[in-house]
Amino acid sequence: MRRQKTEHSGIMNGRRRSLSDPLAAALRPPENETPVERDKRLVAEEKAKQVSDGIDDMIRAEKKEKKVKQEVKVLLLGQSESGKSTTLKQFQLMHSPAAFRADRMAWRAVIYLNLVRSVRRIMDAITPDGPEADEQDDDAAPGQPASIGRSSSGRPSSAMSGTRVPKFEVHKKRLEPLLALEERLIRLLSSPDEDEATHLGPVPQGWQPPDGWSMSHAGPSGSSDGTNVTMTSEYVTSPVSPGSVPPPYGSHGSSNGKHKKQEMALHHTTNWKKAFALGSNRSKNPKNDQTGEIAGWWDDPDDPVHVLNACAPSMQELWRDKSVRVRLNEKRLRLEESSGFYLNEIPRITAKRYIPTDDDVLKARLKTLGVVEHKFTLQGTSTRGIDWKIFDVGGATNQRQAWAPYFEDANAIIFLAPISAFDQVLAEDAKVNRLEDSLLLWKSVVSNKLLADVNIVLFLNKCDLLQAKLNAGVRLSHHMISYEDRPNDYEAVSSYFRNKFGAFHQSYTPNRERELFIHLTAVTDTRRTVTIISNVRDIIIKHNLKNLALV
């Protein structure tokens, strides 16, 4: 009796368990299934399994791809004029070459403005009783040594008296059309709804344009085009008067000849490239009247190239004038060390059908306010699927407080220190040596605890200018007493700087295990820089993957 009850209980329990399992019920073969029906069912189940397995494989592949596809965030840090923007351009040229070259024509306006500003700097420097050499535009590396003697008025002794340029008035008269062109280029580079473009300076009170001055470039009927342009610098922030034009050479933006350093700068959101993009003038002049072909910029009578082309011989004469060179040397104004230096290539730059080269774009100087971000995805076999974000963060002293928010989640920092600037001072503060500023800035970066686990790559930049400066006889020991009587050649000096920056990292880093990668660079040299950036890229990727435990 007990046995029957146990068997009955087991059957009931077994039935209950079986009926409570929906999967078992679903997989149970149909009752009274024939052999043919069974074969069909098995074939259908096999096909369904293949589809299911395929979906599972896709899901696993997507998860794997998502895991492998990582984002690398790189910050470009350094003082103003250290080469950050040029380094960003090199990344673009390497990884987005089509987009980089599509924008080359748009850079024509910037290159023109750089050339015009170089001429202005020369004219201001050779103006009789003009201001000192260190009161120069921000768009070039400040050339005034920190150790130079000054008079009680604060002006360098070389600025108080010096070689006069006999043909100053001739140069001034011939180059006056460039003043109107400068204003026009500023207007073109700043869109009508922008208020971040900066101007060279306010027009002196009571100043009037010279006789015969063409105001057609300032806007319709000689008036302003309505663009809201402001001056943004460490010293001045004020609107440009309607219908105003840059002050004449030597006036420096004020009636007393005193002018603070200012630079053409645009906010990073400004779409300035539209103004000079290839084909931007086709709606205005769709075809050449004589040939019937699509018109180029050289067919547009309002294009700035015509003014530059007409003034090219006068610009060359100014740059070749020996008395001008002597006066620039007396004021220690080395334009060759500036970003946006094109004075040795005036005929090519001012040709009517001039098309900027990659090197021209790399050299072009346009100060951008804010943070510039560039994204690209590596397509190499070993690096496929890795997204890169490169941030060019403003390096002027009044922009450095904006760095901190970008430290979070940073994978690497490329810090640029222009070691050729050992005899120069900051544009923002003539009492601070640029190399000293770079070292202090470097110290603050390497000692930052938020960056303790971030890879750091150091570019000791502008080595080509350093070598040229040393070859010209400029002695490092005159500006850095600690260098003492070491050899004043490139190998010794560059090694000294490498050890100096390396020692700062070793002394102040919160992470003793962090490696420091140091490169001697000239980021305008594409051939050398491509190799360096490739090595840096591989180092960053390797360290990033290690941190993710993927290798």
Residue ranges of the annotated binding site are 362-368, 461-464
Closest CA to 91 of 412, 396, 332, 311: 412
Sequence-separated (6 or more) residues with CB below 8 Å from residue 149: 156, 157
Bind-site residues for GTP = 362-368, 461-464
CA separation, residue 446 to residues 416, 422, 442, 453 (Å) = 13, 21, 6, 10
Contact 191, 224 (CB under 8 A): no
Strands (E) in 351-496, as ranges, are 367-369, 371-377, 387-393, 412-418, 455-461
What H or E segment, with its residue span, contains residue 310?
A: helix 305-320
Question: DSSP string covering 441-460, please?
Answer: HHHHHHT-GGGTTSEEEEEE
Residues in the chain: 551
Bind-site residues for Mg(2+) = 368
Torsions phi, psi of 517, nearest 5? -110, 120
CA separation, residue 468 to residues 422, 434, 541 (Å) = 13, 18, 35
Report the C-alpha gap between 351 and 342 in whole angstroms.
13
Radius of gyration of the chain (CA): 33
